[in-house]
Amino acid sequence: MADTTAFDVVIAGAGPAGSMAAHRLARAGRSVLMLDRLRPASPRLGETLPGAARRLLVREGLGGLFADDRHHAPVTGGLVVWGDDRPVASDVLRDPYGPGLRLDRARFDSSLRKASLAAGADWSRTDVGDVEQCADGWIVYRDTGSAVRARTIIDATGRSARLLRRLGQSRRRGVPLVALYQMARPENNAAMERTLIEAMPDGWLYAGKVGDGRWAIGYHTRPDNAARLRACDAERAAILARAPHLSACLGALTWEGPVLSRDARSLAAKAACGPGWFAVGDAALAFDPIAGQGLFNALRTGLAAAEAILVGGTEGPSAYAEEVERVTSVYAQRRQALYQAETRWSGQPFWQAQCQTIADRKSHRSSLSEQGYRI
Ligand SMILES: Cc1cc2nc3c(=O)[nH]c(=O)nc-3n(C[C@H](O)[C@H](O)[C@H](O)COP(=O)(O)OP(=O)(O)OC[C@H]3O[C@@H](n4cnc5c(N)ncnc54)[C@H](O)[C@@H]3O)c2cc1C
């Protein structure tokens, strides 16, 4: 049975993208309901909020989210070893957007959600099941069977894109990529505020200090490789110990806690909006983590979709669709150029696969599987 209350907008997912959209819409006086299961899923380790995203939050009156920064760690620059054996250092002093923050994601998401509730949005803890079109909009079903009505719906469910899939909307899928993450205590330079990115023969690694002083270490590789390494601590530790710059910088690592595995491939919705519906954040476009722009994109698309709803008509949605399409195309070009810039292991399956265009992926997949690789 559908609840008789009809909301202007129902948002499935209250992560950064959903909360940002809710905040803007509620401030503009629209009735908004966020539905999120808030399942204690696998935590997100060591994600960096870029300086540009902080500026966007400040512009939305959300600068207070970082009033108490103890739980997030400042990121003052990077060391990148990619395409060459020598590391290239970058410094936020040269970045017009200023320093980033390595987030405690649960805390960040919760602060943003609370800010959208303070702006007047409602929320309910529930798993979103199905969605159905009706005469005056939509009926969104909770997994309990109860339902709510909405004039407009927003899919902010992240990579799972729950509503898009229920609406039969397809997505372009990038080359398979899996990230294995674990926390560690380094022997040296534990207080360093730089991010280290290092390309390796069968993947690339990421290392960054989090708020509690430990380091999040991520290894991004082929799915079959990730499955094997996740199951074998010794082999995983041995591979990371062979990363020359990680070892030189941090010394021996003492591993702590579970090894988390996350899908990290690119995903792009073929359409980011349609009549009465919008997809935002990862549901619209999920980046390869090498881009470091997922959170900015989540906040920006949340905001842009809210603005499109406020403009209304066909003008708002068209502008939104164009913006997402433009970002998707620039991202695809830059990502490919980045992977192609690493030529030291261009004959290795990982780098061959990541350098492909969508067009030549199919034939390459079959050639790799003939060689015995499970891609
Ligand atoms: C390995 C890895 C490292 C990354 N590192 C960075 C980084 O350093 N910097 C950066 O900017 N980005 C990074 N990202 C990207 C970043 O995590 C995402 O872009 C960002 O979380 C997207 O926000 P979102 O709100 O779209 O989705 P999410 O954060 O995934 O939020 C989706 C919400 O929807 C809810 N939900 C899902 N399905 C349902 C359902 N059926 N019913 C109810 N609720 C539901 C979930 O509970 C969740 O709260 C990384 C990604 C990966 C995979």
| Average pLDDT per consecutive 10 residues, the chain (375 residues; last block may be shorter) | 79 98 98 91 84 93 82 90 93 79 92 97 95 95 92 97 97 96 94 94 96 94 97 94 94 95 96 97 98 96 98 94 97 95 95 76 51 44
Q: What is the pLDDT of residue 1?
A: 54
CA dist., res. 17 & res. 13, Å (int): 8
- What pLDDT score was predicted for residue 373? 43
Q: From the CA of 156, how far away is ligand 1's center (Å)? A: 9
Give pTM, 2 decimals: 0.94
Whether residue 37 is found in the same domain as residue 186: no
C-alpha 57/C-alpha 67 separation (Å) is: 13
Cβ–ligand 1 distance for 47 under 6 Å, the answer yes
The phi and psi torsions of 77 (rounded to 5 degrees) equal: 170, -170
The number of CA neighbours under 13 Å toward the Cβ of 104 is 15
The CB of 289 under 6 Å from ligand 1? The reply is yes
Two structure tokens written together for 190? 């534990």
User: Of 291, 307, 330, at which residue does a domain stop?
Assistant: 330
In a domain, 186, yes or no: yes
For every residue of 232-279, DSSP letters joined together read -HHHHHHHHHT-HHHHHHH-SEEEEEEEEEEE---EEES-SEETTEEE
Classify residue 353: in a domain, yes or no: no
Q: Which domain holds residue 234?
A: 68-102+176-264
Last residue of a domain, one of 234, 264, 294: 264
- Do residues 211 and 275 share a domain? no
**SS3 at position 46:** coil
For residue 279, being part of any structural domain is answered with yes
pLDDT at residue 374, rounded to an integer: 44
**What three-state secondary structure class fits 47?**
coil
Distance 1 CA to ligand 1 centre (A): 30
Is 189 exposed, middle or buried, given 0-12, 13-18 or 19+ CB atoms closer than 10 A? middle
* Same domain as 180, residue 322: no
Q: What is the CATH number of the domain that holds 283?
A: 3.50.50.60
In a domain, 368, yes or no: no
Tens of pLDDT along 29-38?
Answer: 999 999 999 8
Query: Are 206 and 249 contained in the same domain?
Result: yes
Both 27 and 114 in a single domain?
Answer: yes
Q: Are residues 260 and 185 in the same domain?
A: yes
CB-ligand 1 contact for 158 (6 Å cutoff): yes
282 in contact with ligand 1, CB cutoff 6 A: yes
Q: Can you give the pLDDT at residue 368?
A: 43
Whether 288 lines ligand 1, by a CB cut-off of 6 Å, is no
- Structural domain tally of the chain? 2
Same domain assignment for residues 260 and 117: no
- Per DSSP, 190 falls in state T
> How remote is the CA of residue 14 from the centroid of ligand 1, in Å?
10
- 189 located within any domain: yes
